[in-house]
Amino acid sequence: MKKLLVIALAFIITAGTLSFADETPSADNTRRFTANKRYLIFPRAKGLNGKDKVFVDVDGKPFFSAFNSPIAKADPDFWTFLDLSLIQGKEITVSIKGPDEAGIELVKLSDTIPGKYPLYHEPGRPQVHFSPVRGWLNDPSGMIYFDGTWHLSYANTRFSNLMAGPNNAWGHATSRDLLHWEEGPLLLNPVRGQYSFWTGGAAVDVENTTGLGRPGKPALVFSANNGSDAPNEFTQCLFPSTDGGMSVIFNPDMMFKPLPAEAERRGGGTRDPMILWYAPEKKWVLIVYNKPKGGKDGFYFYESRDLKNWKETSVLEGMFECPNLFELPVDGNPANKRWVIWGSDTSYYVGTFDGKTFTPDGAKRRTHLGTSFSASQVFANAPGGRIVQIGWGHLFDFNFKEEFSQMASFPLDLTLKTTPDGIRLNADFIPELAQLRDGGSAKKDVVIKPGAPLSLPDVSDVMELALEFDPGTTAQVTITAAQMTLKWEAAKNVLDFNSAKIPLAPKDGRVQLHVLLDIPSLEVVTNGGETYMFKPRDFKKLGEKTPLEISAEGGDVTFHRLDLHPLKSIQPTPGK
């Protein structure tokens, strides 16, 4: 009964009744259903976007809308969907307006999502990374660990294949092991003219500020930005959840709230609210991004005791979008901790935070290099103080026009380590990766001489490489595989990764590379986490088997570790 009450509250529309005015489709373009199967499926035409408008009401209230949608009026290229798991028994009204509105006749209830390819096995689909079953993915949001489950929300427009603010929903997936993900219903739905939801965060309501928690079952709080196509654009919204993050409650007192003193500095729009509980003072902290007109990018800090009234406490200039703030022990020492503040462009500061102001210890730095990884977030409330990060992996090179577009990076464990140059943030693949290994080989003390390259099995599929070599007197070490070249140059202490440069000096006389190859992506970690880089991989050229080849120039090189592990797919087996 309590769960039904929460779900009912989630459909309360707090910004008034949406008026379709002259855009209301005719009765011929409207169909009604009773939700008695898991999915409501819609016929999609391939393409980045289209000219159709989709409206979905639940029990007479606006529930979901999407504009610029490429609907198929016959012979769909594939099907997209809404998951009805949380609204079984509800009355659903669907309308389509546009040149392909005849496609309304193909909309239907289903317990499966049909398609010409098995789900998650379409061309270009990642096999060891999360990607949306349908539509577009960008900024990870609302990431939190709670009661044994990892929750990953993300910007999603499943009725088109473009980043589109007014159509932006929060897709939602859960995992028990950070490897295998199950998508559920959208966590936050867009309704044209009322709201669309952009990047945000999540936290546990440990002191029951919302009053909705129960003994042993605290509420969660999600923070999101109301997007650009709404009466209350670029305002911040908070959503409690009482069912462990599977659905949220729309509370008018916690939505569409302009923050203090922000009106005169709206700039590109106050957005990307990150919420956290600051235990030493038993208060809430909210950090948002803004760029005042004529001013600088920056993070703005606010505090609250009740999640409704906020006071500005400080500004940190020079930071760009998607703030993250977290605390880590240095070298694993719990008695020596530092705070890290992080932006979408992967720049970070190490410093201190007193609940009001972040004070950097030194210069802004980067561990994550390149231009194909951004908008990352870390899981709140992770066990043991662990900081696990997932970012948006860009696949712009491939211009996906069918089932899905874009992907999440592989989860990374973040740590702080002392170096001769000071405290630095390190990032490496989570150790759970080892659970996906499917045999392979592990070689030690392999000497490669100039003119005698080592040829190893094909790695054009999904593979993990763990390499460690003593460069000796070699001038260059080159590792080639399908759509991947890694070239380490001794004179420059630089790794060339598919033409991108990564600083890489030997550490204790050795160079370490940890490489993850998926169908559309390549990721490299150097020296146990000193640097990380994500790059797209041209999956369309993976048809021919390509051996892994390692060569040396100017002298012998000794590989003390040369591990190759094929990886099992995290995706469901077709037909099961």
Catalytic annotation, residues: 139
Give the pairing type, strands 135-146 and 404-405: parallel
The β-bridge partners of 283 are 278
Token pair 């030493």: residue: 280
Take residue 574 and report the two structure tokens written for it.
């077709």
Contacts of 359 (CB under 8 A, 6+ apart): 351, 352, 353
Task: Provide DSSP, 375-386.
Answer: EEEE-BT-GGG-
DSSP for 122-136, please give it: STT--SSS---SSEE
SS3 call for 101: helix
Strand positions, DSSP E, 263-346 = 271-278, 283-290, 298-304, 311-317, 324-330, 333-342
Number of alpha carbons in the 13 Å side-chain half-sphere of residue 144: 24
Assign 106 to helix, strand or coil.
Answer: helix
Nearest to 238 by CA among 217, 218, 252, 227: 252
The residue with tokens 């048809």 is 543
What is the spatial distance between Cα 111 and Cα 79, in angstroms, rounded to a whole number?
A: 13
By the 8 A CB rule, do 228 and 192 touch? no
> CA-to-CA distance for 499 and 525, rounded, in angstroms?
16
Alpha carbons 327 and 439: distance in angstroms, whole number: 37
DSSP assignment of 228-264 equals SSSTTTTEEEEEEESSSSSS----GGGSSBPPTT-GG
Q: Which of 547, 529, 372 is nearest to 461 (CA)?
A: 547
- What string of H, E and C letters represents the secondary structure of 42-93? EEECCCCCCCEEEEEEECCEEEEEEEEECECCCCCCEEEEEECHHHCCCEEE
Cα–Cα distance, 516 to 523 (Å, whole number): 5
Place of tokens 């409690």: 240
